[in-house]
Amino acid sequence: MSEHVRTPPGPRKQLRPQRVNDHIILDIHLCLTLRNLLQAHTAVSRAVEFLQDMTGLKFPPADTVLHAYLHFEALTDHEYKYSCITCGDHPPVVIMDLHKKGVFHLSVSDLQGPAENFDGEVNLEKFWEAMSCDMIGRGFVASGRHNPCAVSPTYHFWAPWIGKATRRSDSVLNTEFEKIHEDRLREELYKQKVGVIRKLCKECGLDTNGSRSDLLLRLSNEMKSRQTYGGWAVIMCPCGIVYSIKCNLRAENPRDFADFLLSWKHMPNVIIYDFARGLATHLSLRASEKRPISPFEGRLAEPTQSNIELAKCGQLKVSLPWLS
């Protein structure tokens, strides 16, 4: 990987220390050290703790050092040539899951809805360039002041990262706006009996006293202000190399990974996921003309009654020569 710090047109300049604000400057060698430590799975907070113990000096808070380092990376042009040396740009086998340590809290009511004609297509390059400008802007704006380059989470401008050789184009899918339709959920609530609604209020920590209308109003208000739990949706090869990653705005479901796979240039041969049936069904509905999960919609054999009975008895035999 090669890189250089972005500079104005003119004679080439040497790398300079990284200024994060009016009080803290990170040496360029420290930034490179933090990068190498991260690639060796060492968090910035642990790196700061180690440096303090080794030097006996007091460092700034780890979060401040992290933001300074991210400012450095945002100012750096990276030549992206990243893929698994074994699996290449198009891994035949992938593992998909949610990284819950990346969970954040965001009120659903704060999310700006997409335009009526939004089809879920987002330009990946434009989004991540905007995110870089957001990070760069944080280093030049005083605390508490608005960052003019800030990128707020929105359904129509929120994209995953997928490698250039792995994705089909710079236009990738993010259809999270389709996940939950609050009006439909409210309609279903209104069909429920009072006992069911009262139980839901109790499970949500709401007051269970009052009429049916009172209970429904509390649930409706809770839905409007409830917190969104996202996390990092990740696709990697069996070697542990990440090929796709996205910070979810809503709780994870098969739609997130379907967006990934439908944005890839080539569909993997084998997909390992903890809700395989849901993913297969969702992909079949989204791309019915291509049938991306086949044969038998991802099942190991045709779901005939005889096969089902053999499977129950543990006697069903299936040949899978393509695994090798």
**Residue 1, pLDDT score:** 31
Mean pLDDT of the chain: 84
Span 266-297, pLDDT tens digits: 999 899 999 888 898 889 888 877 788 888 87
CA 149/CA 269 separation, integer angstroms: 41
**Residue 290, pLDDT score:** 79
Q: In the numeric block, which tokens belong to residue 221?
A: 């208000």
Confidence band (pLDDT; 50, 70, 90) for 180?
A: low
Confidence band (pLDDT; 50, 70, 90) for 20?
A: low
- Give the chain as a 3 state SS string: CCEEECCCCCCCCCCCCEECCCCCEECHHHHHHHHHHHHCCCCHHHHHHHHHHHHCCCCCCHHHHHHHHHHHHHCEEECCCCCECCCECCCCEEEEEEEHHHCCEEEHHHCECCCCCCCCEEEHHHHHHHHHHHHHHHCCCCCCCCCCCCCCCECCCCCCEECCCCECCCEEECCHHHCCCHHHHHHHHHCCCHHHHHHHHHHCCCCCCCCHHHHHHHHHHHHHHCEEECCEEEEECCCCCEEEEEECCCCCCHHHHHHHHHHECCCCCEEECCCHHHHHHHHHHHCCCCCCCCCHHHCCCCCCHHHHHHHHCCCCCCCCHHHC
Whether the pLDDT of residue 11 is over 50: the answer is no
The pTM score is 0.74
Whether the pLDDT of residue 13 is over 60: the answer is no
Span 45-98, pLDDT tens digits: 999 999 999 999 999 999 989 988 998 999 998 887 778 899 999 999 999 998
Range ranked top by mean pLDDT from 140-154, 156-170, 229-243: 156-170
CA 302/CA 318 separation, integer angstroms: 10
Whether the pLDDT of residue 127 is over 90: the answer is yes
Span 236-260, pLDDT tens digits: 999 999 999 999 888 788 999 999 9
Span 206-234, pLDDT tens digits: 889 988 888 888 877 766 555 555 689 99
**Residue 300, pLDDT score:** 84
